[in-house]
Structures are given as structure tokens and as C-alpha cells.
Chain A
Amino acid sequence: VMTQSPLSLPVTLGQPASISCRSSQSLVHSDGNTYLSWFQQRPGQPPRRLIYRVSRRDSGVPDRFSGSGSGTDFTLKISRVEAEDVGVYYCMQGTRWPGAFGPGTRVDIK
């Protein structure tokens, strides 16, 4: 089971934001990797992966997005929120099947 907090995050433009994701079990795979990803879903669009394997940014993702964590506790940080960052953010574990998404965190501008 994946949980996220907060579920709603009003932020001020230019300020940092942080989302927490927690798994009920360790996400360390037998191959030594941790398959925890973060996704952004803007209104009316399909999700887009931002971060994979905890901290690796996908191509084209701004460097204001960063991921960290280990084991069961993970964090997505936005260093300075921009207007285009509004949307819902999901964590997902791919370490074991079935995969599982967190409930999502809605980010909007104050």
C-alpha cells in the first residue's frame, strides 16, 4: 500500500514544495534497485513520469524537480514552484507486482 501526504498542497509561486510517499513494505528489489517513480498529471492530460528509481530525472524534466528517499519513505521536492507545475502528483512502486500508485497529491497555486 502506497500513501502520500499531503493530499492537497496549495503553494506560492516561487516557493518550494515537498510531497511525501510511504510504502507499507520496503521497495528495495532483489536486484538492489528501488523502483519508486513520480508522475505529474496536468489537468486534461495523461500522466508524465518525472522521476524513476527514486532520484533519476526523466529527459526534459526541469531540474527544480528532485526525488529522494530509501526503503519505505520517499520525497518529491520542487525547489521553486512555477504555474505550469499545477496538477496532481503520484508516486508508484514497480518493485513488485502488482504495481501500486499512491492516492495523489493535488498541487495548486495559493
Chain B
Amino acid sequence: EVKLVESGGGSVQPGGSLRLSCAASGFIFSSDAMTWVRQAPGKGLEWVSIIDTTGVGTFYADSVKGRFTISRDNSKNTLYLQMNSLRADDTALYYCVKGNNCDDWGQGTLVTVSS
């Protein structure tokens, strides 16, 4: 059974940083691209970033480009999202998602950016 467990969310002031982690199990982690998707409170889904199987290929939504960095450690079956220069509109539930086409989803970790 695929399991994706996010952690690292919390409350932070505007301009601050957070690092999200996603522990993956139940599949061969190094064989799948991984995606971050977020959902602001009461809003729809927003695709944030993707990383290929090796960690070399990455892509970002324009809204986070230059501020967020996606990475992975295949030896630890873990996905990361380093978030810098956080803004109020980054407040959302952040989901770790398996694959290019979002096969399986974690439960999410909540990030709140507020002064």
C-alpha cells in the first residue's frame, strides 16, 4: 500500500522559511517522479512543483519559482520542499503526491503564513 506522510508544516511570519518533508513507503520511491500540490483554505488545487526520479529535473509553478526548491533523497525515500520568502498567499494545505499524474496523495501538512 502506498503511504505518503507529510511533515514540517506550521505557522510562520511573512518572509520566513519552512522545509516540508514527505516520507514515502509502499512503492519503489526512486522509480517515480514526485509532485507537490497545495490547496488554500476553501479553494481549489494548485500544482506547485515536480521532480523527476533522479532529482536532476525540476519544475515550478510561476507563483513559487525562485522561492521554493524541491528535492529528494532516494536513499531515505523522502521528498522535500524548501520554502523561502513565504507570503500570506502561500497559506495552504500542502500535499505530497506520487507521480507525474498524481496517482496517490498524502493527507497534507498545513502551512500558515501570517503576522
Question: How far apart are the CA atoms of A92 and B37 in the complex, in Å?
Answer: 12
For A100, list chain B residues within 8 Å (CB): 47
For A39, list chain B residues within 8 Å (CB): 45, 102
- Proximity string of chain B (78-115) to chain A, C-beta cutoff 8 Å, 1 when within and 0 when not: 00000000000000000100001111111110000000
Question: How far apart are the CA atoms of A37 and B107 in the complex, in Å?
Answer: 20
For A92, list chain B residues within 8 Å (CB): 45, 47, 101-102
- Whether A46 touches B108, Cβ cut-off 8 Å, given contacts A90-B45, A101-B47, A103-B44, is yes
Q: Are B100 and A101 in contact (CB under 8 A)?
A: no
- Whether A98 touches B106, Cβ cut-off 8 Å, given contacts A35-B100, A35-B101, is no
| Residue of chain B at shortest CB distance from A47 | B105
Give the bracket for the number of chain A residues in contact with chain B: 20 to 34
Residues of B within 8 Å of A, CB-based: how many? Answer: 21
- Whether A98 touches B59, Cβ cut-off 8 Å, given contacts A46-B107, A46-B108, is yes
User: Which residues of B1-55 are within 8 A (CB) of A?
Assistant: 35, 37, 44-47, 50
Question: How far apart are the CA atoms of A39 and B37 in the complex, in Å?
Answer: 13
Q: Are B103 and A49 in contact (CB under 8 A)?
A: yes
Question: How far apart are the CA atoms of A99 and B61 in the complex, in Å?
Answer: 8
List 4 additional A-B contacts (Cβ < 8 Å) besides A39-B102, A92-B45, A101-B44. A37-B101, A47-B45, A103-B44, A104-B45
Question: How far apart are the CA atoms of A88 and B37 in the complex, in Å?
Answer: 16
The answer, yes or no, to whether A48 is at the interface (CB within 8 Å) is yes
The answer, yes or no, to whether A52 is at the interface (CB within 8 Å) is yes
Q: Are B44 and A104 in contact (CB under 8 A)?
A: yes
Picked from A41, A46, A58, A97, the residue with its CB within 8 Å of the CB of B59 is A97
Question: How far apart are the CA atoms of A68 and B67 in the complex, in Å?
Answer: 38
Question: How far apart are the CA atoms of A98 and B104 in the complex, in Å?
Answer: 18
- Whether A37 touches B102, Cβ cut-off 8 Å, given contacts A90-B44, A99-B35, A101-B45, is yes
For B105, list chain A residues within 8 Å (CB): 46-48
For A52, list chain B residues within 8 Å (CB): 101, 103
